[in-house]
Structure 1
Amino acid sequence: MGDEPQDPITELARAGAALHELFLSYRDAGFTEDQAMSLVRTMVEVQVRAAIEGT
């Protein structure tokens, strides 16, 4: 490891920030809060399933 400082933002925090941004974008596009959350939830579920199945 060099003299570079460690990144204080973890991969999980980075992913959470990206999901929050996506949620806000859906809201800005006119979706309700429930609709935006449902879309984000579905995207996360698909990604998790794909990771579990190894695809």
Structure 2
Amino acid sequence: MDQPHTTPSPFTKLAAGAIQIHELYVSLVHAGFTEAQALDLIKHILVNAKK
């Protein structure tokens, strides 16, 4: 069976991660968190991600 042709992402893994973090930030602010609260939540998520 042939595998479907996939187009490689134009973004590096680092750029893709930054985009996802930005989307999370925008979503948190849209949900009602202040900008500072959103950044603090993201900081805690990233610091504790691999523990």
What's the RMSD between the two structures over aligned residues? Answer: 1.7
Matched, 1:8 2:5: no
1:23 to 22, 25, 31: 25
TM normalised by structure 1 equals 0.72
CA deviations 1:1-55 (Å, max 9, x no partner) are: xxx87532001100000000000000000000000000011111112xx1xx6xx
Higher fraction of helix: 1
Structure 1 runs of 4+ aligned residues shifted over 2 Å read: 4-8
- Percent sequence identity over aligned pairs: 35
> Cα–Cα, structure 1 residues 10 and 29, in superposed 2: closer, same or farther, change >3 Å?
same
Tell me the amino acid that sits aligned with residue 31 of structure 1.
F
